[in-house]
């Protein structure tokens, strides 16, 4: 029991962050994380011992998110991205904040695959091998997808009305 | 070209952005970028976006954990559900005994009716039990003395990590186990024996047997209690009374699922 706690708990902050970045609503994100943890606890004895626990958890969370989207789509309901942009506050006086908002907004315009990849590699620091495990593709594919996802994000941000990359160096 | 002779590729650029290159390789990429302003601008933009996302999202991970996301809380809640399920099972076993159980008993062994789901796991398990439990010379293929090997072997064949419950508190010691062909798939049978020579088998096969969690089946003096988790179907078989088997089954799945959580979902 304690080893289960010890194995899972260090990853929960990262799961919450990834979930929040996907759904942009703390309650909904925590619902997703809770589902993920319940699933993980129930399947703990089934996991591959040699595999990364973090990648395993992220995979569960992502699959739950995708299932949820599919279910909502089937039900003909709007896929909520509630609080997507309201969270940021209006005091964006530095370009950093502006950039952060633009980066997040641009991220929303990407497909889920690209969004998850950029989040898992760029924010959650999954290794390329772990990311390959999450997406079920070879590592080489991850590299080329990463390259495409970053190009897409760059285009979105650079194409936006805000000039923000000028000061970046 | 870098120092080690490999040309700088797209992969190096991404790994550079993620800060995952060796120092030598990173310097090599840096040197390349210094002579390629367009590439440098692209990398700068990628670095800035990556940094911006990290910075924006960092506070989310720093928020205190609500109690509903604590592992101990989640395990506690699942245990409570487990206990409720067990009571429900005990009740339904009684009902089955009155209703279906007698019907099954009346069928006898020569006409085991195949049903979808766990009843079929139970039928398969009872069949396997009947065949091997009477075996004097070779009740098991691999004996308990080689338990680690046994578990490893059967796990590999069944395709999932298997565990053997310790039922010594209930008076049963592991004798060993064997591989059983089961509709073209590999299934595992672990055999236990009590001090009086009474034998108990645990049958495990890959595949979730159906939506129902539990099934109890009694046939020709054998009782089987079957259940499944997300990936495996289990059945415990012995020639004992229902309450005895229920106790054994409880001990078994508690151990196979130490978090006590198998009964949810």
Residues A79 and A96 in one domain: no
Residues A151 and A102 in one domain: yes
**What gap in Å lies between CA A130 and CA B123, rounded to an integer?**
41
DSSP notation for B27-54: HHHHHHHHT-HHHHHHHHHHHHHHHHHH
Number of separate domains in chain A = 2
Residues A2 and A39 in one domain: yes
Diameter of chain B measured on Cα atoms: 87
Do the strands B172-182 and B185-194 form a parallel or antiparallel pair, or are they unpaired? antiparallel
Q: Where are the domains of chain B?
A: 10-62, 89-256
Find out whether B196 and B170 touch, Cβ atoms under 8 Å.
no
Residues A74 and A96 in one domain: no
Segment (H or E) for B125: helix B118-133
Which pLDDT belongs to residue A100? 65
Residues A61 and A96 in one domain: no
How far apart are the CA of A56 and the nearest CA of chain B, in angstroms? 15
Once rounded to an integer, what is the mean pLDDT over residues A152-168?
64
Residues A66 and A38 in one domain: yes
The CATH code of the domain that includes A103 is 1.10.10.10
Nearest CB to B259: which of A29, A41, A165? A41
**Contact call for B69 and A102, based on CB within 8 A:** no
**What gap in Å lies between CA A158 and CA B147, rounded to an integer?**
62
**Length of chain B as a residue count:** 265
Q: Which two tokens stand for residue B254?
A: 């508690």
Residues A66 and A121 in one domain: no
Domain coverage including residue A14: 1-84
The CATH code of the domain that includes A80 is 1.10.1740
Distance of CA A53 to the CA centre of its chain: 16
pLDDT tens across the length of chain B (265 residues):
445 567 889 999 999 999 999 999 999 999 999 999 999 999 999 999 999 999 999 999 999 999 999 998 998 888 877 777 776 666 666 555 554 444 444 444 433 344 445 567 888 888 888 888 888 888 898 899 889 999 999 999 998 889 899 999 889 999 999 999 887 788 999 999 998 889 999 999 988 655 546 778 888 788 898 888 778 888 999 998 888 888 888 888 788 865 544 443 3
- Rounded to whole angstroms, what are the CA distances from B264 to A169, B80, B209? 52, 10, 15
How far apart are the CA of B139 and the nearest CA of chain A, in angstroms? 28
Residues A23 and A60 in one domain: yes
Which pLDDT belongs to residue A89? 40
The C-alpha torsion from A44 through A47 and A52 to A54, rounded to 10°, is -40
* Assembly ipTM: 0.82
Residues A4 and A78 in one domain: yes
Please identify, among A42, A59, A84, the residue that sits at the C-terminal boundary of a domain: A84
Distance of CA B235 to the CA centre of its chain: 14
DSSP state of B183: T
pLDDT in tens, A39-94: 999 888 888 888 899 999 999 999 999 998 888 776 654 444 433 343 444 443 45
* A168 in B contact zone (CB under 8 Å): yes
**Contact call for B71 and A4, based on CB within 8 A:** yes
Residues A128 and A102 in one domain: yes
* A110 in B contact zone (CB under 8 Å): no
Q: Which of chain B's residues have a Cβ under 8 Å away from the Cβ of A98? A: none
Please identify, among A38, A67, A84, the residue that sits at the C-terminal boundary of a domain: A84
Residues A116 and A167 in one domain: yes
Please identify, among A58, A84, A110, the residue that sits at the C-terminal boundary of a domain: A84
Alpha helices in A1-91 (DSSP H): 2-8, 12-23, 26-42, 53-74
Which pLDDT belongs to residue A69? 86
Q: Which CATH superfamily is domain B89-256 in?
A: MucB/RseB, C-terminal domain (3.30.200.100)
Q: Which two tokens stand for residue B257?
A: 């699922």
Q: Name A32's Cβ contacts closer than 8 Å, sequence gap at least 6.
A: A19, A22, A23, A61, A64, A65, A68
Which pLDDT belongs to residue A80? 43
**What gap in Å lies between CA A76 and CA A80, rounded to an integer?**
12
């Amino acid at each position: 029991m304690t080893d289960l706690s010890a194995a899972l708990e260090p990853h929960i902050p990262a799961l919450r962050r990834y979930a929040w970045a996907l759904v942009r609503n703390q309650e909904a994100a925590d619902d997703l994380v809770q589902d993920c943890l319940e699933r993980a606890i129930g399947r703990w004895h089934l996991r591959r011992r040699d595999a990364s626990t973090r990648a395993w958890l992220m995979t569960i969370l992502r699959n739950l998110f995708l299932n949820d989207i599919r279910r909502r789509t089937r039900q003909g309901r709007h896929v909520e991205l509630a609080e997507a942009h309201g969270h940021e506050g209006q005091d964006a006086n530095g370009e950093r904040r502006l950039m952060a908002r633009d980066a997040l907004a641009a991220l929303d315009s990407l497909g889920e695959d690209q969004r998850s990849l950029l989040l898992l590699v760029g924010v959650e620091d999954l290794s390329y091998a772990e990311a390959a495990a999450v997406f079920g593709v070879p590592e080489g594919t991850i590299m080329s997808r990463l390259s495409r996802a970053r190009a897409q994000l760059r285009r979105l941000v650079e194409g936006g009305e805000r000039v923000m990359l000028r000061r970046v160096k | 070209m870098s120092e080690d002779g490999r040309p700088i590729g797209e992969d190096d650029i991404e790994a550079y952005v993620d800060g995952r290159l060796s120092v030598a390789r990173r310097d090599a990429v840096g040197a390349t970028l210094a002579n390629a302003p367009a590439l440098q601008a692209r990398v700068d933009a990628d670095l800035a976006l990556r940094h911006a996302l990290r910075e924006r999202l960092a506070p989310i991970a720093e928020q205190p954990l609500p109690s509903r996301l604590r592992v101990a809380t989640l395990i506690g809640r699942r245990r409570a559900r487990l206990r409720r399920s067990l009571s429900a099972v005990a009740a339904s076993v009684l009902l089955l005994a009155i209703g279906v159980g007698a019907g099954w008993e009346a069928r006898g062994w020569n006409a085991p009716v195949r049903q979808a789901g766990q009843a079929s796991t139970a039928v398969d398990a009872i069949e396997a039990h009947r065949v091997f439990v009477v075996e004097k010379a070779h009740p098991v293929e691999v004996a308990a003395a080689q338990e680690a090997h046994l578990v490893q072997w059967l796990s590999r064949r069944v395709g999932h990590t298997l565990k053997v419950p310790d039922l010594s508190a209930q008076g049963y010691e592991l004798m060993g186990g064997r591989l059983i062909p089961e509709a073209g798939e590999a299934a595992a049978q672990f055999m236990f024996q009590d001090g009086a020579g009474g034998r108990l088998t645990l049958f495990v096969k890959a595949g979730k047997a159906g939506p129902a969690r539990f099934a109890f089946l009694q046939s020709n003096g054998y009782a089987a209690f079957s259940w499944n988790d997300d990936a495996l179907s289990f059945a415990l078989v012995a020639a004992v009374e229902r309450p005895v088997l229920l106790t054994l089954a409880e001990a078994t799945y508690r151990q196979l699922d130490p978090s006590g959580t198998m009964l949810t979902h």
